[in-house]
Structure 1
């Protein structure tokens, strides 16, 4: 089970697929746990429910098919793993150093990336640069920030952050650590 957009940002439903045949077996008009539970309760032979971690799927599957084993689907597992790995690499990018060239080969001069902590061609950097260019192009064309957020499927706060940055490299900063309670009391 997964969700689908009837109208992105406004109306969502639930699609149910038979994992063995890879064919849709049901479309529900909403993402409500009650609707899903009722649909599952009508089919008592369901043994395994493959879903993402949305709370309405968890609750609906638990109530509608309590006998079924609930598992995460492969796409969401990989997606979550990739996001976690990318976030970890981003947070520890200062720890990463280029591998030194073998002694028998002459070393190439490495230019320090003074303007950007991310090299050209890095997936995160390229995606951020593309988003920045798109947002600023839409702003220059006269679109409102709310309109851009709706068109790109982003939050208004994200659009505001990108619009304030004059260059994409301004978005590549390391998050500032908040002082702990002990530090504040000193």
Structure 2
């Protein structure tokens, strides 16, 4: 029986390896930069046929990088499911890199992790009681401070509470404004439009209509107007096709004349004057909306009539059952 013993040379050969160490390191570098699918495509361009799973296995086979003992540690919580499952994240504040993740946020887990690293000098933590207990038990020599975000957050909340409590003092320091009479409202020229002024929807539509037409008159295309004003192509088309903004207004307004106004001052009911027939003859969407505002038509009640005697006796009535 013959046996062959082969000595492995570190950095040159590997037991049961199908690739050279140089090709293996190249594929590992590609996997670290591009992960699996993109790394496999780049390797195929370089003339190496490899699957995305193989690239990921090469990355997983790498040893964990050696991390120096942290001196300043940041402690905060993370949620795998908000409101139910939380864990603890530990960050090296000096290098701004993640160090470890703990599966929970218990004080005992944090204390055990800090006890294995006695070189921690400063703990920048979230202001939670379980983090305070774990930091005190695991690293009693470390200084505990609050992180920057929570410092600014707590400062803003304290300032807001102080201002709310002393609001009456601030009002007393503000000089009273001199009383002036009401400013005269300039009379607007009659525009012949039945639509109201000062309404939010109406003023916004008029402003957008004016902005679109101003850009179009300046030589901009509709696509350019859409990009500058942040509107959709359909909205720009509606505003551009309308010569006047009144063409875009729909709905009923209080100061718009209605055919129901003449019935408001008369004691006669609208139903008795035949408004339903007038609206049906008018037709259109506006007539349908006005018709829905009217009360429903009264049902016809049959006039009481005398019971007619039966012309012949039925078998049931004859038997008296």
Give TM-score, length-normalised by structure 2: 0.31
| Pairing 1:67-146 to 2, within 5 Å after superposition | 67-97=141-171, 99-100=174-175
Please identify the structure whose Cα radius of gyration is greater: 2
Instruction: Pick the structure with more strand per residue.
Output: 1
Q: Distance in 1 between matches of 2:111 and 2:98?
A: 17
Count of aligned positions: 105
Q: Distance in 2 between matches of 1:30 and 1:108?
A: 64
Q: Which runs of 5+ in 2 are unaligned?
A: 1-74, 181-321
Q: Distance in 2 between matches of 1:8 and 1:17?
A: 21
Q: Distance in 1 between matches of 2:179 and 2:157?
A: 32
Matched, 1:54 2:128: yes
Superposed CA offset, 1:12-46 (max 9, x none):
11111111111111111111000001111111111
Q: Which runs of 5+ in 1 are unaligned?
A: 110-186
Distance 1:48 1:94, change over 3 A: same
Match of 2:97 in 1: 23
| Pairing 1:133-172 to 2, within 5 Å after superposition | none
Match of 1:169 in 2: none
Match of 1:4 in 2: 78
Match of 2:110 in 1: 36
Q: Distance in 2 between matches of 1:64 and 1:75?
A: 24
Higher relative contact order (CA 8 A, sep 6+): 1
Distance 1:52 1:108, change over 3 A: farther
Q: Distance in 2 between matches of 1:15 and 1:36?
A: 10
Q: Distance in 2 between matches of 1:95 and 1:71?
A: 34
Three-state SS of the structure 2 residue aligned to 1:21 is coil
CA RMSD of aligned residues (A): 2.1
Three-state SS of the structure 1 residue aligned to 2:100 is strand
Give TM-score, length-normalised by structure 1: 0.51
Three-state SS of the structure 1 residue aligned to 2:140 is coil
